[in-house]
Structure 1
Amino acid sequence: MQRRTLLTVTAAAAAAAVTGAVAPSARADQDRPQDDRLRRIIDGMSLEEKVGQLFVMRVYGHSATAPDQADIDANLREIGVRTAAELVERYRVGGIIYFAWAHNTRDPHQIAELSNGIQRAALAQPTPLPVLISTDQEHGIVCRVGEPATLLPGAMALGAGGAHADARNAARIAGTELAAVGIRQNYAPVADVNVNPANPVIGVRSFGSDPKAVAGLVAAQVKGYQRAGVAATSKHFPGHGDTAVDSHYGLPTITHTREQWAALDAPPFVSAIAAGIDSIMTAHIVVPALDPSEDPATLSRPILTGILREQLGYDGVVVTDALGMEGVRTKYGDARVPVLALKAGVDQLLNPPSIDVAWNAVLRAVKDGELTEERLDASVLRVLRLKAKLGLFRQPYVNPAGVDRAVGTPAHLAEADRIAERTTTLLLNEGGFLPVSPASHGSVLVVGADPASPSGTTGPPTTTLAGALTELGFSATALSTGITPTAARIDEAVAASAGKDLVVVGTYNVSATSPQRTLVARLVATGVPVVTIAIRNPYDIARIGGQRATLASYSWTDVELRAAVRVLAGRARPLGSLPVPIQSADDPDRVLYPVGHGLSYDE
């Protein structure tokens, strides 16, 4: 396993990274003219309504009132209601999160109508309050809304491009399209600094390994989203970039000292707060240097109140990461987790495994005196402030006629292509092999990994790559060999390479024991020139040799793969540079390709 790269810092430098870096975002009540009105609303709410406002819940179905029967069955099984409208009526939830797998995001017009249906249900309640609808639209490998929406390069690709203007513009486009369909809170940008190549959950979702560079890109995206009318959410506080454990399935521990945390993990969050971030998401990670109790940060008062609220001066909305993840369920039961999160300083409780258990646990904690109603009111006020800022009290509905004017427009799609071209990174180019042309290398075999497709893809990566090559005049055929190609599949690929002028291999998270290494070696041995494209983590090149050239696309969404093909064919120049170092697989102390490495066709 590759060893992580860690910055060495002094205590003074670490302190400077946090203290004095940002003025507190808390403002006196007189600076919030809407607070008196919001407090009057809160004073008129029942305890049950207040509790409901703190929950953001999933729900199955494409419609708020008439989902498919399979989705009704799933809702009854997992939530105890039939529809989104019933969810709002029973639990008075303040937020709903959309997922593609929950069939919430079939197409833009359907999403807009679902959003409007949810708002109609919410405004029909005794205390009519709009719902804050959210999703995870990070772009790159995490997308919930697919085509015909504009799909943009993900964080590490933008880190490779390095341009704040591109990051801001990508967020503006994404935010404009989300707002048009009624999604007003996006759980992006990722503010984690990825310093561990073995990180299984962040990786290319991070802008890179340099805290200063990540901080600048985070701030740019915060401004882009929020100027488009969507609440940005930096995540995962206090920083999930140095772990080899996925918090979906376990409880990671970050071993950074407090000084290392301040210099490495804190700067992007400090930058987000300075940029006026609307919400910050917690991490289900243990950081003993910040809280010796070893509670996950989501449940840690020293981290969320002591550091985030008091030290960093953040007074916006704090939302948990999903409460169904094992990282937050390991130490406490599902009935304790939401109560402890609120005691720690959280405002929004995201997607508990059972809302009935969680909702009743919070209600009972207030009635028993473990949580005061004043504590509840403070979080409800923050949530309502955000809804007011977004204009949801004035106009909770979206205009269906505006969907086509905003979503997947030719201008947005063209800009996505331009941004993607500026992120594609040329890591290796032996003898100036690239670019190639149909005249010199017209017959191409495309093989490689075809991982499960994010919403930004129209087909397997091999098919997308072959199609893009064909559009540029090559004769390209695709053969999917998979993430773990079998010996028979490798033999088939070798046989298919006979008579070809070029083989393009899409690699995906190549490990020391990955048969993808054998696939590339066997293809190189045929004598046909091989070009590899790392379609996720750029670290693949440390474990693969013999190829004539290597490109990094940082994701296998169509926009990034098409850009990589244009670079390969010389229709675009490789302008990206590595935002993370790539170390030798055999000697982690030796850096093969440093941060900033990226070849051009002049070299």
Structure 2
Amino acid sequence: MVRGIRTAGILAIATSLVACASPTGHAGSATNVPPPAAKPSSTPSTPSTEASAGAGTGTVRRALARMSTEEKVGQLFMPVVHGTSAAGASAGNQNAFGASTPAQVIAKYHLGGVILFPENIKSVSQVVSFTNGLQKASKGVPLIIGTDQENGLVSRMSALVTDLPGASVIGATRDTGLARKAAEATGAELKALGVNLDFAPVADVNIDPRNPVIGKRAFGDNPARVAQMVAASVKGFHDAGVAATAKHFPGHGDTRTDSHTGLPVIKHTRAQWEAMDAPPFKSAIGARVDAIMSAHIVMPKLDSSGDPATLSKPILTGLLRDKLGFDGVISTDALNMEGVRKKYDDGEVAVRAILAGADLLLMPPNLPKAHSAVLAAVKSGRISRERLDQSVTRLLELREKRGFLETAPVASAAAAAKVLRSAEHRRLAAMIESQSR
């Protein structure tokens, strides 16, 4: 078969990179329709010895020690909030969270982060005011404010930022310098708006060109070249002072099922995974990527349970943590996607993701239910205090590495206007387009 020949060729190309890669170490739609829930109590907890002794700097340990159990659980969640103002009341927020304004949602659940979508964006001054207001609403540590700004097909902030080419166009240039500059430009514009984490770059290898969910979002179909582009992009985001996220682990590039609407099954053997899917993630880890996002895909040769990678301890802990040595934040892909909701309810999904090894629960479709389920699992001992502290510690360390653990960043509309769609960034976009041909 042609497909078999293609796979064999990719295996041959990629084998050399697998041996030398150095392991040093997306969201779906924004639908939220759960019923309101009662505000959780604030029962103090004692930080565990395992997670607090020797884990993180003194600043991180002190921040962890100040948190109650409820505050720690809240740190794990990053939902979409409705509206364009932190203080603006919305029926969407009331229906989804039992709180009217984004600021009230943050306070009620002690949220660790918020993800921005086009519904939250009107203008530069509005976004700057919004992100500053969100940060002000967080009474504990500063928020992680994220978005999916991959450029190209997935560009949540496209109304405001430079129209830089997507990954496939950058990959076609074969110039890692341009990949790094593009990520730095994107990161600089996001930071100017008050966004401190991008759910990019895509680290999937576009093995099947008819893949409905990755395709041009990937840098290409050559694992070695994709790995180089991913590492360069991570460094570019760091040059701008923004956290980067490699996605979607263990690799979403060889399926024709969209995990937004179904549960893909990828039948790669362990050797095929090592050669075709793993290299870009190893490269991202080598570049000290801040976070890695899981995929809602089943890889039965890596875990025979039938659970998607997001809920798989053999994949998230066994492979990503233990085998590849990743010690940063593991984020789930959006938990409102059908690929992760096939077997378990929305509360159980959140609990199982944490037990599998995830630290950040992205866009739960029912935040009250998921929050209550995780809190109950901690109080019952199903999720140990040590396990909870490990995740919160990693989230605090991400903030510290990017310079916003102790002081919330404050964006400026005037400063942002000088960065967004600057002449320099527009010239870069044109250069990438030219060199990709």
TM over 0.5, yes or no?
yes
Offset at residue 21 of structure 1 (A): 2.8
Tell whether 2:95 aligns with 1:77: yes
Structure 1 equivalent of residue 48 of structure 2: none
1:89 paired residue number: 107
Partner of 1:22: 22
* In structure 1, C-alpha distance between the alignment counterparts of 2:221 and 2:247, rounded to whole Å: 15
Distance 1:311 1:147, change over 3 A: same
Equivalent position SS for 1:138: strand
CA distance in 2, matches of 1:279, 1:148: 25
Moved more, 57-66 or 144-153: 144-153
Residue 279 of structure 2 corresponds to: 267
What letter corresponds to residue 254 of structure 2 in structure 1?
D
Q: 2:124 aligns with which of 108, 111, 116?
A: 108
CA distance in 2, matches of 1:389, 1:143: 25
Residue 402 (structure 1) shift:
1.2
Structure 1 counterpart of 2:368, from 356, 374, 378: 356
**Counterpart in the other structure of 2:8:** 7
Partner of residue 488, structure 1: none
- Is 1:39 the equivalent of 2:39? no
Per the alignment, residue 36 of structure 2 pairs with none
Question: Which residue of the partner structure matches residue 332 of structure 1?
Answer: 344
> How many Å separate the matches in 2 of 1:30 and 1:410?
49
Question: Are residues 1:143 and 2:163 paired?
Answer: no
SS at 1:371's partner residue? coil
Provide the rounded CA distance (Å) in 1 between the counterparts of 2:241 and 2:54: 21
Contact 2:179 2:233 in 1 (8 A): yes
Contact 2:80 2:114 in 1 (8 A): yes
The residue aligned with 2:187 is: 175
- For 2:170 and 2:2, the matched residues in 1 are separated by 24
Match runs of 1:193-272 below 5 Å: 193-272=205-284
Task: Describe how 1:540-559 pairs up with structure 2 within 5 A.
Answer: none
Preserved contact between residue 7 and residue 260 of structure 1 (Cα < 8 Å): no
Render the CA deviation track for 1:198-230: whole Å, top value 9, x for unaligned.
Answer: 211001001111000100111111110111011
Q: Which residue of 2 aligns with 1:129?
A: 141
CA contact (8 A) 1:148 1:407 kept: yes
Residue 139 (structure 1) shift: 0.3
Give the C-alpha shift of residue 110 in structure 1: 1.2
Q: Which of residues 115, 136, 146 in structure 2 aligns to 1:120? A: 136
Instruction: Name the residue aligned to 1:409.
Output: 422
Equivalent-residue separation in structure 2 for 1:366 and 1:421 (angstroms): 54
Task: Kindly report which structure 2 residues correspond to 1:182-581, keeping only aligned pairs within 5 A, or say none.
Answer: 182-392=194-404, 393-423=406-436, 576=437
Displacement of 1:6 in angstroms is: 1.4
Q: Offset at 1:40? A: 2.0
Task: Give the stretch that moved more between structures: 40-49 or 183-192.
Answer: 40-49
CA deviation after TM superposition for structure 1 residue 160, in Å: 1.3
Amino acid at match of 1:396: P
Aligned residues: 409
Aligned partner of 1:62 in structure 2 is 84
User: In the aligned structure 2, how far is the partner of 1:29 from the partner of 1:161?
Assistant: 46
Quote the Cα distance in structure 1 between the aligned partners of 2:2 and 2:361.
Answer: 35
**CA separation of 1:208 and 1:10: change in aligned 2, threshold 3 A:** closer
Identical columns (%):
49
Q: Which amino acid aligns with 1:21?
A: A
Residue 8 of structure 1, CA deviation: 5.3
Q: For the Cα contact (< 8 Å) 2:143–2:408, is it kept in 1?
A: no
Give the aligned residue type for 1:412.
Answer: H
Name which of 96, 114, 117 aligns with 1:99: 117
- Deviation string, structure 1 residues 479-518 (Cα, Å, up to 9, x no partner): xxxxxxxxxxxxxxxxxxxxxxxxxxxxxxxxxxxxxxxx
Q: Is the 1:2–1:198 Cα contact (8 Å) retained in structure 2?
A: no
**C-alpha RMSD of matched pairs (Å):** 2.1
Q: Which string of whole-angstrom CA distances, capped at 9 and with x for unpartnered residues, describes residues 353-388 of structure 1?
A: 010000000000011110011110010000011111
Q: Matched residues in 2 for 1:315 and 1:62: separation?
A: 34
Specify the alignment match of 2:31 in structure 1. Answer: none
How far apart, in 1, do the equivalents of 2:355 and 2:262 lie?
23
Distance between the aligned counterparts of 2:366 and 2:160, measured in 1? 33
State the Cα deviation string for residues 31-83 of structure 1 (Å, max 9, x = none).
98x6222212212211100000010110111110025xxxx012222232211
Structure 1 spans left out of the alignment, 5+ residues: 424-575, 577-603
CA-to-aligned-CA distance 1:464-486 (integer Å, 9 cap, x gap): xxxxxxxxxxxxxxxxxxxxxxx
Assess, with a 3 A threshold, how the Cα gap between structure 1 residues 171 and 189 changes in structure 2: closer, same or farther.
same
Deviations 1:81-140 (A, max 9, x none): 21110111100110100000xx21222221111100001111xx3xx2110000000000
Q: Distance in 1 between matches of 2:101 and 2:53?
A: 41
> Which residue in 2 is equivalent to 1:51?
73
Contact 2:52–2:61 (CA under 8 A) maintained in structure 1:
no
Residues 397-440 of structure 1 deviation map (CA, whole Å, 9 limit, x = unaligned): 223331112111111112212212222xxxxxxxxxxxxxxxxx
**Secondary structure in structure 2 of the residue aligned to 1:266:** helix
Q: Which has the higher contact order (CA 8 A, sep 6+)?
A: 2
Residues 10, 223 of structure 2: 8 Å contact kept: no
Instruction: For 1:77 and 1:202, locate their aligned partners in 2 and report how far apart those are by CA, in whole Å.
Output: 33
Quote the residue 1:506 is aligned against. Answer: none
Q: Name which of structure 1's ranges 402-411 and 317-326 shifts more when overlaid on structure 2.
A: 402-411
Deviates more, 1:72-81 or 1:280-289: 72-81
**Structure 2 portions without partners, runs of 5+:** 26-50
CA 1:30–1:23: 2 relative to 1, 3 Å = farther
Cα contact 1:2–1:197 (8 A) shared by 2: no
Q: Does structure 1 retain, via aligned residues, the 8 Å contact 2:113–2:144?
A: yes
Contact 2:88 2:102 in 1 (8 A): no
User: Normalization by structure 2: what TM-score?
Assistant: 0.89
Please give the TM-score of this superposition, normalised by the length of structure 1: 0.65
Do the aligned partners of residues 390 and 140 (structure 1) sit closer, same or farther apart at CA in structure 2, a change above 3 Å counting? same
SS of 1:394's equivalent? coil
Higher fraction of helix:
2
Whichever residue aligns with residue 204 of structure 2, its letter is D
Match of 2:371, as an amino acid?
A: W
Distance of 2:62 and 2:389 partners within structure 1: 11
